[in-house]
Every structure is written in structure tokens, then in C-alpha cells.
Chains A and B, each alone.
Chain A
Amino acid sequence: MNDMRIVERTVDANKAKMTARGVQVYYGATHALKDVSVDILDNTVTAFIGPSGCGKSTFLRCLNRMNDTVAIARVTGEIRLDGEDIYDKRVDPVQLRARVGMVFQKPNPFPKSIYDNVAYGPRIHGLARTKAELDQIVETSLRKAAIWNEVKDRLAAPGTGLSGGQQQRLCIARAIATSPEVLLMDEPCSALDPIATAQVEELIDELRSQFSVVIVTHSMQQAARVSQRTAFFHLGNLVEYGETGQIFTNPKDPRTESYITGRIG
């Protein structure tokens, strides 16, 4: 693991953006997530790592209540966004998801034009009053997602006609167009080649200045490269959570050590 750029990094003493306390998730009779408590810090990239089926994606989907769409899923415990319980009865998941955006594993642009893909979120949330404002949002989002230069001449072209890496960056642009506060990314690079992966990783680092980013990844190198804090999940448990440098160089739990050195997983 010598190739990892794990150096002493300064982790800003940011305040917690989202706090999870005692989160349990059941899929029917399966206990998928056991008593997870995590603080997601503001302006920080937090990586969730762990072997397949360890519950990291499940936990990610709890953070914007995407698990609501799974009929058999049941979530208990408490998750707060800026101190407000997102599972409170008064919370409409629609409003929550505008503030906690999500990028999926497989690029999933709408079968519409590039412009409409990005403009869809602002449109349904009424974020732009005029066409000019909407154009501005689309341009800013595409610029932030580092894809503007590639698509500015063909905004009317179908989003599904782009390459895999471009599609994923388009999806990121779509997610940040609603000005979310937290951006959830579920293995955003697993369908991409190394070049596109590098572009997306660079992007994630830039996005950190404006959002709190949570990324689920199977690649420990990626976690080490992009994140400031890392959480290691194993069999539904949160085994260890701390600064990325500490997790990779000086893990406290033997299971973490086994995983990052490749003995389990």
C-alpha cells in the first residue's frame, strides 16, 4: 500500500453536517445495518469502505431516505441534518433530497437533452424564475462538474449519447444543480475507466469546498486519495471511523487492519 498518498493531512475542525445515532436497518427479517453512529462533517469528503454486502450503501441510502422506496426496508434510530431529524413525520423526503443530492453507481442520465437533465431539478424545485436564471444554473452546474467545455456546444444533444465518464459527470452536475448541502455518491467510479475516474476524483476534491461529500467506494486507494475521513463497515457494523490517514496507517481494530491489508473482504 506504498502507492497511497497518505500523508499527514490537516482535517479542518468542521462542524457536523449530519449526525446518525443508533441507526438500524432491516430488510424484512434481515438485519442489514446494526447500530451505526456517525458524524458527517461539513466541507469534508467522507468515504465508506468495506466488503460487499457490509451495509455501506444501505447506510448511504438512509441519509436521503432513498430506502423509503424499498417496501420491505425499515429504518430505526436517528439521523439529523443540521439538527433536524430527517425521519420525522413532518419531513417530506422530496425536500430532503433537494438538500441531500445523490449520484448513483451506474450513470443514469434521463433520456433527454443534456440541458434538460441538469435543468430538471431546478425546474421542479422552482429555483429559477426566468430562462436566463435557469441557463445560468445549468452552466454553473456543468462547470462545477468539469464537463462544461465538453458539452457547451451540444446542450440539446441527448445525455445518453455521452461517454460513460461524461455521463457520470453529467449526473453529478444534475445532482449539484439543486444546490444540495450534502452530496451522496454510491460507488460513482465503479463503471468508469481510470481516466474518467481520475477526473471524477479531482472533481470530488473541488466539490468539497461547497458541499459535504459522502462517497461509498470499493477501492481503498480511492478512499485514501479523495477522503479526509473514512468509515469501515463490516457485516452491518460500523467497525471504525476516523481520519483517513489514521484508518489506513494506524487502524485500531484488527478487522480494519485485515481488510486494508487485503486479508478479508
Chain B
Amino acid sequence: MTDATASVHGSLFQADARTRRRRAAETRFRAYGLGAVILSVLALVFLLSSVLGNGTGAFRQSVIRLEITLDPAIVAPKGTDPEALAKVTTIGYGRLLDQEVIAELTAKGIDTAGMSAKDISAMLSKEAAADLRRMVLADPSLIGQTITFDAFANGRIDGYFKGRVTMESAALDSNVSPAQLLLAERMRDAGLLRLAFNPGFLTAPDASELRPEVAGLGVAILGSAYMMMIVLVLALPLGVAASIYLEEFAPKNKLTDLIEVNISNLAAVPSIVFGILGLAIFINFAGLPQSAPIVGGLVLTLMTLPTIIISTRAALKAVPPSIRDAALGVGASKMQAIFHHVLPLAMPGILTGTIIGLAQALGETAPLLLIGMVAFVRDFPAAPPEGFFDPASALPVQVYNWTTRADPAFMERASGAIIVLLVFLVAMNAVAIVLRRRFERRW
């Protein structure tokens, strides 16, 4: 009677064909998943290492340390009152610098044979004299004293120490000669020239094609900060109010359906379209100034609103209906139920959506190009609110701007700017996480 006890299922110790196939499918699927994760991690590592590799150089700059005696005969020939001081041009300061460099070279016994004074002077940045002049104008008491001054080296000299410029390329370059590079090397060995941290990269304004060594992100950071302020102040209340109305109060009819579909679609509209819209409405129609953070902020607000509305509505929907019932049950009005109970519970989701929207806006370039934020701006905008109407740049636009310039030194600065942008994005996400933790009540 063994046949009767044999079951339709085989032994548990032996996998049947179907089980084997199922197991193989599962293994394959896991492999695909793992492969996808590895691929994306590799892409991220490659991106970060290339940006960091190229960009960290922007934070360090070649400087020539000089002990300068600010001779009143040169910098203040007509007395030290501000007007007289302002009459002394950068050319005067340039001469002072040139003398000082040659004096230092002779003092350190560095061989300058075969090089003219002009060749040596060209190794300094064109901005060095202006920097020195600004320093003196800001603090006239320095006149007559001997100060330590770090003069920026020329961008090509700087490039040589960062590996961007070689002897071969210098031989073909009208801006720098191999002899200058050799001298620079000797100066470095003598301790006269070194790579130093350059705070100017974060605080200085942009600079022209010929002086990449002094170009900074100051105006761009300020412009981006102003725009983020405008976006936050406008988009958060507007977006949250719109979501609450649509989610809780709006009658369910064809019109609200249409509005909902359009909001979802707006989130997918290419950002350059918002730029054209901003150009047409805010600049051509409303007559707001070009290149101003106010216009950029308004355009980015329009762009961010759909993101905020969609995430806020999702957060409101996720609040359990029992809380609404409880509030209505004790006689709260609909608005009280929403503002006292639903909104606080939805807050983490709303904040996350807002910060994602802001981060998106911070990195947006295309719409800003159309409203003139791409202009070369050297003057810092004033403090808000007036500053909202002053010309400014923006971080992503500055990156774009620098990558279009011919001098490879700007490539390094563009990578540096990307690092700054990424740091801001990480900081904003950190803020989002902190806020979410604070508002999230698990009881």
C-alpha cells in the first residue's frame, strides 16, 4: 500500500522545477537591483571626484608675499584726506609693487638674469595693485607703515603650480613665458611664492577674462540668497494656502479637476518656459529691472509652486481622517480642525516638499539666463529690500558663465562654484531633516 501514502508533492529536500525557476528569477532580480545600485554609486563617485578634483584648486591661490613700505611720497603725495588719496591711481600702486618685488628678489638672491622689469611685473595679477589701493583707501592709517601684503600671482603662474600650464604651453602663450615660470619656481623655492587659502573666492565679485585669479562668487552667492528669500517668502504661503484650499475646501467639480491636472502638468513644464514667461510679464510688461533678484525670485517662485502644492497636498492627504473626525466631533469648525490638527501633522511633509522645491530653484539656470541674470556684475547688490532690485548674479549662472570663458583657469573656478552650490544644497537638505525631526511627533 505504498502507493496510497505517496503524496502529489515530492520530497521537501528536493526542489521541483517550478521552485527552481522561481528561485532563479529571484536571484536574477536581486542581481539587477544590485547592479543598478552599484552603477549609480559609481556615477556619483565619478561625478564627485571629478568636481572635487577640478574644483578644490579654486579655494587655493598662488600669492607672492611682500613686505611693502607704503611710502607717503607715492601713495599720498597730496596728504591723507580721502579725496586726495582717491586721486592716486592703481598705476602708482603698481609701480610700488613692482619695486618691491624686484627688491625682494635681490634680497633673496634670486637670479633674474635675462628678464626685464616688465616681465617680472607681469607675473603679478593685474588686480594686485587695485587690491593694495583698496586696502589703503579703507584704512589710511597704514600709510607710512610697512605691511605684509599677499599679492595674487598671475593666473598662468598659478596654473603652472596647479598643473594647468606647462613649459610647452607657455612657449606658445603670449601671456606667460617659460622664463617667468622658471623664475616663479625659484621664488617658490625661496618661500616668496606659495599656494594659500583664498577667501576671496567666496566673497569677491566676478572678474574679467584677463584676471581669473581674482574672480569670486560673492555677488552670485548674495544673488542666490536674495532669490531664495523671495521664493521662500512667496512660494511657501501661496503654495500651502492653495493646497489647503484645493484639498479641504474646494468643491469637487470639473473646474477643480482641471486646475489639479494643470498644477501637475506645470511641475513638468521645462524651466526655460518659465524664463520666457518672466521676461514677458515681469520685465517687458511690469517693467521690473533686468538681472535683478526680484525678477529671478518671482520666476523661480512660479516654478517652485507646483512642487510645493503637490507635496503639501500629499502631506495633507496622509493625515489620518480620524483626527479630522475627532476635531469636528468636539465641535471644531473645518478651519479649526485643519489649522489646529491637520496642518501641524502635515508640517514635516510640507517642509520637505518646500526644501526640495527650494533646492530645485537654487540650481536652476535656464530661466535666469532669459531674464538677464547672466550679465557681468561686479557691484554687490545693496541690503534687502532695495538690493532685490539691484543687478546680481546667481550661483548656477556663474558656473555657466565661467565655463563659457576661454581661459582654462575659469574651468577650475566653475568646478569650485559647483562645490559651493553642492554645499548649499547639502546644507538645505540638512535643515529639512532637522525641521522634519523637530515637527515629527510620533505620539
Query: Could you list which residues of chain A lie within 8 angstroms of chain B, going by C-beta atoms?
Result: 64, 66, 69, 71, 94-98, 101-104, 106, 108-111, 120-121, 124-125, 158-161, 171, 174-175, 177-178
Contacts and interface: CB of A to CB of B under 8 A. Distances in A.
A74 to B, nearest CB: 15
B345 interface: yes
Contact of A104 (B322, B331, B336, B441): B322
30 contacts: A64-B329, A66-B328, A66-B329, A69-B324, A71-B252, A94-B332, A94-B333, A101-B329, A101-B330, A101-B331, A102-B325, A102-B329, A104-B322, A104-B325, A104-B329, A108-B320, A108-B326, A111-B323, A111-B441, A111-B443, A120-B327, A120-B330, A121-B331, A124-B330, A124-B340, A158-B441, A159-B443, A160-B443, A161-B443, A178-B330
Given A108-B322, A108-B325, 9 more contacts: A71-B252, A97-B328, A104-B325, A108-B323, A171-B326, A174-B330, A175-B329, A177-B330, A178-B330
Residue of A69, A161, A174 with most chain B CB atoms under a 10 A cut-off: A69
Residue of B325, B328, B329, B336 with most chain A CB atoms under a 10 A cut-off: B329
B8 to A, nearest CB: 39
Contact of B328 (A69, A171, A174): A69
Contacts of B323: 108, 110-111
B321 to A, nearest CB: 9
A103 B330 CA distance: 9
Interface residues of B, number: 20
Given A104-B322, A108-B325, A110-B326, A158 B443 contact: yes
B341 interface: yes
B331 A97 contact: yes
Interface string B333-346: 10010001100010
Given A125-B331, A158-B443, A120 B340 contact: yes
Contacts of B322: 104, 106, 108
B330 A121 contact: yes
Interface string B306-323: 000000000000001011
| 4 nearest A-B residue pairs (beta carbon) | A158-B443, A98-B331, A108-B322, A121-B330
Given A104-B322, A110-B323, A124 B328 contact: no
Contacts of A177: 330
Residue of B323, B340, B443 with most chain A CB atoms under a 10 A cut-off: B443
Contacts of B333: 94
Contacts of A71: 252
Interface in B228-264: 252
Nearest to A107: B322
A111 B329 contact: no
Contacts of A106: 322
A160 B442 CA distance: 9
Given A120-B340, A161-B443, A175 B328 contact: no
Contact of B345 (A66, A96, A98, A111): A111
A94 B441 contact: no
Nearest to A108: B322
B334 to A, nearest CB: 8
Contacts of B327: 110, 120
Nearest to A116: B340
Contacts of B320: 108
Contacts of A121: 330-332
A214 to B, nearest CB: 14
